Each structure stands twice: as C-alpha cells, then as structure tokens.
Amino acid sequence: MAENDLILRVEGVHAFYGNIHALKGVSLQIRRGKIVALLGANGSGKTTTLRVISGLLRAARGSVWFGDTPATQRAPEKIVAAGISHVPEGRQVFGELTVLENLRIGAFIRNDGQSIQEDIERAFDLFPRLRERTHQSAQTLSGGEQQMLSIARALMARPKLLLLDEPSLGLAPIIVEQIADTIRRINEAGTSILLVEQNSEIALSISSYAYVLETGRVAVEGQSAALLDNEDIKSSYFGLR
C-alpha cells in the first residue's frame, strides 16, 4: 500500500481514562476514498479510538497521522480544520437550536457564506426530512432525524475523513437501512469514512476493510467480505451464525 494512498494512520496508540488502560497499542490505516469499519464489543475501545483521532482524548503513547501531518497532540478544532469531522455516539445535537442553526454551527471553521448556503442545500438533498424541519428545534426531532442532523452538521465542515460512532444505535431497522445508504452516498461523493457500528452485518456490508477490537487491542483485521464469510469470526466476535 503506497504511503500517499493513506489518509489516516494510527500507530501503536495507548490511551487511558485515569488508571484504566483503554487502548493498548492500537494500529490501523484508512486508504483515501474507502469505508473502514471498527468493530468490537462494548468497552473494547472503539469510541476511545475515535476520540484520540479527533483530539478529544490525548494518546499516552503512539501517533496519529492525517495524510503526512501529525495529529496526535493537535487541538480538536485544528483537527476539524485539517479535514476530520467526528459524529459522536448519542447524536449530541444542540436541542434548543433549530435544524438550520445546528447546520450553521457545523460550518464554524468557515467564512465562505455563499458556499455554506450551498452546502446546507446539499445537506437537505441528502436528508430531505431535514428540509421539512428547517426551523424546528432539534429536540423535537425523532431519533433518526437527530442522527441525520448530526451527520449533516459534521459534513458542513467539508471533511476529507468522517468518523461515525454508532450511527444506527437505537434506530428502527428501516431507518438503519436509510442511514447505511446515506453513508454509501457520502463515501461515493469522495469522503473517506471510519465507521464504528454495533450492527456488524451492515458495517461489513458497506465497508471494504475492518478492524475488530478486543479489550483495547486489534484482535482481527481483514477485508470486510472475508470477515463476513468467516463463520468462526462471525461466531466469536459478532455473535452471528
């Protein structure tokens, strides 16, 4: 794999929450234009990995590279400006603000007013339901609509890499399918994606490569299609038969 083909490299990262050793030498790579899945049980280190990449948690050891730029000790807003947007678990929209105001906050690093408005229109094209609710407060939206808004808000920064943390969590199956289809469309438009997802079948079906974490370490990695076809791995790590 050529170095210039990599948009993200995580190399031997260790991270702690107090005395809890959450990541124990995690390494992963993402090629430009690809969807990579990060899977594992609750507490395996998936969210922590995303937090380290986006600068919300400092790595104790190891390094994160975004393209050729070191990102390990950069402030979160600098990482957003460099081209990484993070959609956190639990959506975390600004409930008192309208859909439109949430989208404008997503463009906080930008000052190109006309282009911002164009990107708001693109967000509404991607999520037509948000257009219908432009002036509603985000707290009045359904869970699925809030997830759509969270993703749309992250896209307003025009990221090269999108970090998605459990986008299907708590959503009805039909909404999960819609979110999965939207993730594909975002990727087809040129955005690389690192996807943390509890629904391993969906994650493996839309990604090209996957890493499986177990107690803070990479236990398994490989082409997503191969992992989905491996009965032992499906049984051991995904609870699938």
| pLDDT tens track for 8-43 | 999 999 999 999 999 999 999 999 999 999 999 889
What local confidence, expressed as pLDDT, does residue 112 receive? 82
* CA distance linking residue 137 with residue 65, whole number of Å: 37
Domains by residue range for the chain, with CATH: 3-89+162-237 (3.40.50.300)
Residue 169 pLDDT grade (very low, low, confident, very high; cuts 50, 70, 90):
confident
**137 to each of 124, 141, 167, how far by Cα in Å?**
16, 7, 20
pLDDT tier for residue 163 given thresholds of 50, 70 and 90: very high
Comparison of pLDDT for 134 and 1, the residue scoring more: 134
pLDDT in tens, 188-238: 999 999 999 988 889 999 999 999 999 999 999 999 999 988 888 877 777
pTM: 0.92
